[in-house]
Amino acid sequence: MKKAFVLFIFITICAAVVWTAIYKQNNNYSENDFLCITCHQGIETVSETHKNITCIECHGGNGNTEDKDLAHKDMYGGNNPSNPKVWDKTCGKCHEYEVKRVSSTIMLTNTGLIKNTLEAWGESDNKSLYSQNHIQKAYNDNGSIIDISSIADNDNISADMYRKFCSGCHVGQAADMGYRGAHSSGCAACHFPYGEYGEYAGEDKSMQGKYMHSVTHKMQSLPDDDVCLACHNRSGRIALSYRGYYDGNNALVPLKEGIPGPDLTSGLRNIRHFQADVHHAAGMECIDCHTSNEIMGDGYYYENMYNQVEISCESCHGSYIEKPKTKREIKENTGSQNIKSTYAKNIPFGSSVVLTDKERPFTNVYEKNGEFKLISKRSGVERNIKIITGTEEHNIKGHYNMECYSCHSASVIQCYGCHVEYDERQTMYDYVKDKETKGAFKETEDMRTFFPFPLSYNQNGKISPVTPGCQTFLTHIDEKGNVVENDKMVEFRGKQQMKYAPFFGHSIGKKAVDCKVCHNNTAFLGFGDSLFSYENKTLTSAVKCDNCPVPLNSLNSVENGDFLSKSDIVRTGSKVLEKETMLKSIDAMKCIVCHENADEKYYNRDIDYEKILNDSTHKHLLD
Amino acid sequence: MKKYLMTALINIFLISTAYGSNYHKNYDDNMDCSKCHKDYSIEAINSVHFNNERKIINDAFHNFDNEFGSKNCSSCHNMTCKSCHKNNSNNMIIKPENSNCLVCHKDVYTGIEYEGYGIREDHIRYKRGLEKDKEYYLKMLPSVHHEVGIKCAECHTKNSLLGKENPKDCLTCHTYNQNIIDHSIKAHDNVACISCHAAYSPMELGSFYIRLRNSSNKELFSELPQLDDEYVKSSYMRVNERPPMVIDNETGKYVPAKPAFIIFTTDIVENNVQGKENNMILNRWKKTYPHTVRRETVLCNGCHGNEKAFLLESDENRILYPDKDGLSIKSFYNSKYFSIEGARFVTREEYNEKINKKSKEYIKKYMEKLDQLKKVIKESK
């Protein structure tokens, strides 16, 4: 009897252990989570690698109560444990390296955006680094510790505008910027993407339809292009242009099924189609070019986006002189081998891997039998990369200092005239201070174009497309309703001048801009509509503007013999084209009139126009 | 057409020397102008000038909404003598000023650009800047004729409005200087002056009329112009651009053209689309004469080597893809999708063989022009 009882107890215990084990295996939750699951039944497992982690290890709170308030008390970061305010207690416990990197990424610090906003509004305080949140410890690119001022402490109008407009797109902050524009903060901003309306649509019934939650509780290790689009759909709009989306005049037509169309993005903006970037057309996604070091940062606090970016067209396509740089990968813990678990297909170990401009290995670009290949990270599709090294059309004298995308852009978005009204009688939500504060902003625009686009020198001294950046005109209404400023062009570097920014529009065309199109159209030299009168000694544009010193869509103009160059290029070291370069560009047209193609016979050396046009071949043509 | 009407109305009164006399001092609604001004009845002017336009619009909208024209066009296309001749502030009968003309000759209806008013996009985001008669405009270069103070009626003579004669054209006042490179090119004799000298033309590429009845979708369109209780208006694109060229049937010359109109309709009842959505019911370009005359002109590339300038944009060169947006056309700059009256489109053969033929003269003049361009930039201070 006693034996039988012991046996019964033993069997019961065994059964309980087995049952618990089976239960755990099926549900992937520990006893501590037992009660979380009573409400959140059906919630998705984060990922294969996260399946043995309990709810409260990431989320905090209390898994031993059915009382919702008690259970949710002291959760880390509310619905988002990856919120930068708490991420060192959550994701950072395991992913310390990533969290430290992301702490410094320019998409979190927004420092370039802040600096340029202040500068563009003539309110620069001459600091070089800013933060949206108070960062405790940061390193510059020399590795030294630096002090950073928070934009929350700045009380001028441009800082207020930054906090109320620009800062909505900030990895440190969840924000609802409207349809297709809602995103979380911290790691989740990219790895737990929000849906079109920011609503949960997974299997957890208690969360279904709830707003400002990720689509499901499943992690997206490799973010798709929609993630990037949630933020990069305004200003430069690169995520729109890349896909061939144009939000142009916002005219809400053509309609689609009775509503504005043909497609929509945040802020009830309709998007139409134009030529998509060839890389998109070939099936490539943002992350196929952009490396983790660029997106998540590499630990250093860069002043500008272009300091953090480590790739260029040349990294993969080479230059005329040099093929892409490679390095044989022989360590298991570097480059592609380090993150191979998430990629659909990996570079074979031991391959010659292509290096970024910072000489770090790409994780998906390599050399194979003398050819260069790129593997799409999510799909695993392997693609051949065209190498331009030694191709004569890239050996044109005078083009050596041009960015590839000066010729290869199908379009470059340009927003002319940004008229901002700042009304102190109203309030608006401040994303940084997380409250409504005095002063509301309203924006109107003059016109949008995409081709042709003006060229100038960028920060590397290369000729690059530029875009208005930004042409701000301020109307300031004080608390009593007095108009303090009326559509005043804000000063830049102490002067009233048009501001342009070097810009890669992310819309590489199927073919390059024709020689004759660029050399023949002085819009590329910054003369807008290029209306010319030799008799009046005038080269000007048709679009004028009340309070600006040159035509609205121009960098320069010649009016009755006066050269007006009232524009500046915003990046340090960048500048407008000089007359000499303009004249050289026009000179080249003399050849192009007849020799339309980039023929190596003519264009890979200095051209003495006088001599050539007077030689026996040409002279009789011009008599 | 409407500008003729306007000038005709002006001239009704020019014929009388009685402006300001006691007889005409105050406008009396019961007065019948045509009793005395027998040759200038409103009906006569209408029948000569815009009945054709009226028919085109009515035919196009016939299957969509028979009353579209009377609902949306009558504020201008329903003229009386006083529309032009009444001074609104004091009820006096006057010789029309530019401002009388521009009440109707605004937006894309040729006229207002003369004074430097360019059109804006339809969405409220673009509604700012210069304001005239409750419409917003872009500040543009005015016509050189406006700058020197010439009024509409000085070129648009009374008889021109009745179609009895042409309005004054360039060569009525100007001779052209053969020393100017562009003028010295023989082939340019086939090009109307305005084709080069129009700084830009206000053009609406694709007009959309959305009829919404008992539809809550209407609120989604609240930032677009509302024409009346039913109609919302929008456009694919509104630009102030150099106009494309077509060949005038009358003169055989290259003249500018504008869309008038390329119309798409959608009918929404409750929230359901009735019939075809974004249905192109009219695809018409016509000759135009942008009132943006400047001494400055486009350079050679404005036409030569520029297929868009002749509505010949090829599929491979286009940037916008309206077909991907659900429209039945691949480009707004390709004439194969459109019709034209009073003129014809340039063919690809003409474009290749005439416009881009690199004759000795072409090359020589091109070089000279480039040298001039260089000189102006180089010597500017």
| Residue B274 CB coordination number (10 Å) | 14
Q: What separation in angstroms does the CA of B158 have from each of A529, B145, B162, B163? A: 35, 19, 7, 9
The pTM (predicted TM-score) of the whole model is 0.92
When scoring B120, B126, B216 by the number of chain A Cβ atoms within 10 A, the one with the most, hence best to mutate, is B126
Mean pLDDT (chain A) is 91
**Residues of chain A contacting B240 with CB distance shorter than 8 Å:** 542-543
Which of A536, A590, A623 lies at the smallest CB-CB distance from B296? A536
How close B331 gets to chain A, by Cα (Å)? 11
- Mean pLDDT across B73-77: 83
**DSSP for A87-117?**
TTTTHHHH-HHHHHHHHH-HHHH-HHHHHHH
A517: helix, strand or coil: helix
Q: Based on the number of CB atoms within 10 Å of its own CB, is A7 exposed (0-12), middle (13-18) or buried (19 or more)? A: exposed
CA B170, B174, B180, B186 torsion-angle sign: positive
A17-30 per-residue burial string, b: 16 or more CB within 10 A, e: under 16: eeeeeeeeeeeebb
Comparing CA positions, the residue from A415, A409, A500 lying closest to residue A449 is A415
Lowest mean pLDDT among A281-295, B63-77, B87-101, B284-298: B87-101
Do residue B319 and residue A532 have CB atoms under 8 angstroms apart?
Answer: no
Q: Region B368-377: what's the mean pLDDT?
A: 98
Buried b (16+ CB within 10 A) or exposed e, A453-488: bbbbbbbeebbbbbbbbbbbbbbbbeeeeeeebebe
Beta bridge partners of A476: A422, A485
Strands (E), B185-299: 201-213, 231-241, 245-248, 254-269, 272-287
Q: Which of A133-142, A368-377, A474-483, B72-81 has the lowest mean pLDDT?
A: A133-142
In chain A, residues with a C-beta closer than 8 Å to the C-beta of B118 are: 542-543
Give the C-alpha separation, A378 to A156, whole Å.
44
The burial class, CB within 10 Å (0-12 / 13-18 / 19+), for B10 is buried
Instruction: Please state which of the ranges A135-144, A222-231, B240-249, B367-376 shows the lowest mean pLDDT.
Output: A135-144
What per-residue confidence (pLDDT) applies to B26?
A: 66
Strands B254-269 vs B201-213: parallel, antiparallel or unpaired: parallel
Give the nearest chain B residue to A518 (CA atoms): B301
pLDDT value of residue B76: 83
A299 touches chain B (CB under 8 A): no
Query: Nearest by CB to A586, which of B235, B370, B379?
Result: B370
pLDDT of residue A555: 95
Distance of alpha carbon A54 from alpha carbon A41, whole angstroms: 14
Q: Which of residues 39-58 of B touch A (CB under 8 A)?
A: none
Whether the Cβ atoms of residue A230 and residue A177 lie closer than 8 Å to each other: yes
Assign B16 a pLDDT band (cuts: 50, 70, 90).
very low
Q: What gap in Å lies between CA B28 and CA A263, rounded to an integer? A: 55
Say if the ipTM goes beyond 0.90: yes
Query: Side by side, which strands form the sheet with A472-477?
Result: A435-449, A414-430, A472-477, A483-489
Average pLDDT (B167-171) is: 92
**CB of A102 closer than 8 Å to CB of A108:** yes
Q: Which amino acid is at A355?
A: L
Q: Please check the confidence at residue B3 and state whether its pLDDT lies above 60.
A: no
State residue B46's pLDDT score.
Answer: 67
Per-residue pLDDT, A25: 46
A411 → closest Cβ in B199, B268, B319:
B319
pLDDT for the residue B271: 96
Q: A16-34, pLDDT tens digit by residue?
A: 555 544 444 444 445 556 7
Is a pLDDT exceeding 80 seen at residue A326?
Answer: yes
| Token pair belonging to B231 | 């109609």
Residue A7 binned pLDDT confidence (cut-offs 50, 70, 90): low
Comparing CA positions, the residue from A528, A452, A503 lying closest to residue A237 is A503
Residue labelled with tokens 């007006």? A564
Distance from C-alpha of A591 to C-alpha of A585, rounded to nearest angstrom? 11
State mean pLDDT over A126-131: 85
* pLDDT tens digits, one per residue of A36-93: 999 999 999 999 999 999 999 999 999 989 999 999 999 999 999 999 999 999 999 9
Reported as half-sphere exposure (CB side, CA atoms, 13 A), residue A146 has a value of 21
Give every CB contact of residue B58 below 8 A, 6+ residues apart in sequence. Answer: B66, B68, B69
A558: phi then psi, degrees, rounded to nearest 5: -110, 120
Measured CA to CA, the distance from residue A257 to residue A271 in angstroms comes to 15
- The pLDDT tens digits for A460-486 are 999 999 999 889 999 999 999 999 999
* Helix (H/G/I), strand (E/B), else coil: A39: helix
How much of chain A exceeds pLDDT 90, in percent?
74
Residue B6: its pLDDT value, please? Answer: 55
Residue with tokens 């300001």: B20
Distance, CA of B6 to CA of B85 (rounded, Å) = 10
- A259 to chain B: nearest residue by CA? B217
Q: Looking at residue A13, what is its pLDDT?
A: 63
What pLDDT was estimated at residue B20? 46
What is the model's pLDDT at position A540? 97
Residue of B nearest to A543 (CA): B140
Rounded alpha-carbon distances, angstroms, from residue B165 to A567, B249, B343, B363: 49, 18, 20, 40
pLDDT per residue as tens digits for the range A516-534: 999 999 999 999 999 999 9
Q: Tell me whether residues B324 and A250 touch, CB distance under 8 A.
A: no
What are the structure tokens assigned to A593, written together?
């009139």
Q: What single DSSP character describes residue A264?
A: E
CA distance A555 to A550: 7
pLDDT at residue A546 is higher than 90: no
Cβ of A244 and B321 within 8 Å? Answer: yes
Q: Which of A39-43, A449-453, B164-168 has the lowest mean pLDDT?
A: B164-168
Question: What is the pLDDT, as a whole number, of residue B47?
Answer: 65
Omega before A465 within 30 of 0, i.e. cis: no
Q: What is the DSSP string of B173-213?
A: H----TTSHHHH-GGGGGB-HHHHHB--EEEEEEEEEEEEE
The whole-number pLDDT of residue A467 equals 97
Q: Is residue B40 within 8 Å of B34, Cβ to Cβ?
A: yes
The DSSP output letter for A61 is S
Q: Write the pLDDT tens digit of every residue in A555-595.
A: 999 999 999 988 999 999 999 999 999 999 999 999 999 99
Cα-based torsion angle of the residue sequence A167, A170, A175, A179 in order, rounded to the nearest 10 degrees: 100
Instruction: Calculate how close chain A gets to B61, using CA atoms only, in Å.
Output: 18
User: Which pair of structure tokens corresponds to residue B292?
Assistant: 């943006």
Whether A52 contacts A28, CB under 8 Å: yes
Do residues A469 and A503 make contact, with C-beta atoms less than 8 angstroms apart?
yes
* Cβ contact A537–B324 (<8 Å): no
Cross-chain Cβ contact B123/A543 below 8 Å: no
Q: Bridge partners of A176?
A: A182
* Contact by Cβ (8 Å): B215, B187: no
pLDDT the model gives residue A170: 87
Test A532 with B221 for CB contact under 8 angstroms. no
Q: DSSP for B27-58, please give it.
A: --TT--GGGT-GGG-HHHHHHHHTHHHHHHHH
Residues 359-378 of B with CB under 8 A from A: 360, 363-364, 366-367, 370, 372-378
Q: A162-175: per-residue pLDDT in tens?
A: 999 988 888 988 99
pLDDT at A145: 84
The shortest C-alpha distance from A216 to chain B (Å) reads 29
Cα end-to-end distance, chain A, whole Å: 126
Which residue, among A411, A469, A452, A466, has the nearest Cα to A273 in the 3D structure?
A411
B130, B221, B380, B381: which to substitute to probe chain A, counting the most A Cβ within 10 Å? B380
The pLDDT value given to residue B23? 55
Report d(CA A403, CA A390) in Å as an integer.
Answer: 17
* Contact (Cβ atoms closer than 8 angstroms) between residue B246 and residue B346: yes
**Nearest of B29, B228, B294, B108 to residue A541 by alpha carbon:** B294
Average pLDDT for B58-82: 88
> Which candidate from B123, B268, B377 shows the least CB-CB separation from A251?
B123
Residue A252 in contact with partner chain B when CB distance is under 8 A: yes
Residues of B in contact with A535 (CB under 8 A): 180, 295
Running DSSP on this structure, what letter comes out for residue A546?
T
Local structure of A159: helix, strand or coil: helix
pLDDT exceeds 60 at position A509: yes
- Kindly calculate the radius of gyration of chain B based on its CA atoms and give it in whole angstroms: 23
pLDDT of A428 strictly over 90: yes
Contacts of B225 in chain A (CB under 8 A): none
- Nearest chain B residue to A250 by CA distance is B123
Distance from CA of A268 to the nearest CA of B (A): 8
Which of chain A's residues have a Cβ under 8 Å away from the Cβ of B294? Answer: 531, 533
**pLDDT band at residue A9, thresholds of 50, 70 and 90?**
low
Q: Point out the least confidently predicted range of A330-344, A386-400, B117-131.
A: A330-344
Q: In this predicted model, which residue has the larger pLDDT, A233 or B1?
A: A233
- What is the sign, positive or negative, of the torsion defined by CA atoms of A162, A164, A167, A173? positive
